[in-house]
Amino acid sequence: MKKILVIEDDRVIRENILKLLQAEGFEVTGASNGSQGLSAAMSNLPDVILCDVMMPELDGYGVLVALRSNPATATVPFVFLTGKAERSEVRQGMELGADDYLTKPFSKAELVGAISSRLKKQAALAEQQYNLRSSSELVQDAADKLEQIKTSLCDALEREEFQVYYQPQVNVQSGKIVSAEALVRWLHPEKGLISPAEFIPDAEETGFIVQLGEWVLRTACKQMQVWQNAGFPLQQVAVNLSPRQFHQPDLSSRVAQILAEIGLEASSLELELTESLMVQDADRAIATLQQLKDLGVSISIDDFGTGYSSLSYLTQYPFDTLKIDRCFISNITDGCTNAAIVKAIIEMAHSLCLEVIAEGVETESERDFLWRYECDAMQGYLFSPALPAVDFEQLLMEGK
Q: Which residues bind ligand C2E (CB under 6 A)?
A: 167, 183-184, 195-197, 200, 209, 213, 216, 240, 242, 272, 302-303, 326, 359-362, 379-381, 385-386
Which listed residue (29, 82, 206, 240) binds Mg ion by CB under 5 A?
A: 240
Does position 272 interact with Mg ion (CB under 5 A)? The reply is yes
130 binds, among ligand C2E, Mg ion, none (CB under 5 to 8 A by kind): none
- Cβ-Cβ contacts under 8 Å for 128 (sequence gap 6 or more): none
314 binds, among Mg ion, ligand C2E, none (CB under 5 to 8 A by kind): none
CA distance 302 to 320: 11
Backbone φ, ψ for residue 212 (5° rounding)? -65, -45
| Residue 315: alpha-carbon gap to chain centroid | 33
Is the Cβ of residue 2 or residue 247 nearer to ligand C2E in the bound state?
247
360 binds, among Mg ion, ligand C2E, none (CB under 5 to 8 A by kind): ligand C2E
* CA-based nearest residue to 292, from 242, 260, 234, 246: 246
Which window, 89-97, 264-272, 335-343, 380-388, contacts Mg ion (CB under 5 A)? Answer: 264-272
| Residue 335: alpha-carbon gap to chain centroid | 41
Report in angstroms how near the CB of residue 242 gets to ligand C2E at its nearest.
4
Report in angstroms how near the CB of residue 237 gets to Mg ion at its nearest.
12
Does position 303 interact with Mg ion (CB under 5 A)? The reply is yes
Does position 300 interact with Mg ion (CB under 5 A)? The reply is no
For β-strands 162-171 and 177-188, DSSP reports them as: antiparallel
Q: How far is CA 79 from CA 36, 163, 371, in A?
A: 17, 70, 86
Question: Rounded to 5 degrees, what angle do the CA atoms 22, 28, 31 make?
Answer: 130
CA distance 332 to 295: 37
Element (H, E) at 385: none
30 binds, among ligand C2E, Mg ion, none (CB under 5 to 8 A by kind): none
Report in angstroms how near the CB of residue 272 gets to Mg ion at its nearest.
4
Instruction: With H, G, I as helix, E, B as strand and everything else as coil, classify residue 299.
Output: strand
Query: Which residue's CB atom is positioned nearest to ligand C2E?
Result: 380
Does position 270 interact with Mg ion (CB under 5 A)? The reply is no
Instruction: With H, G, I as helix, E, B as strand and everything else as coil, classify residue 356.
Output: strand
Report in angstroms how near the CB of residue 316 gets to ligand C2E at its nearest.
23
**Binding interface with Mg ion (CB under 5 A):** 240, 272, 302-303, 359
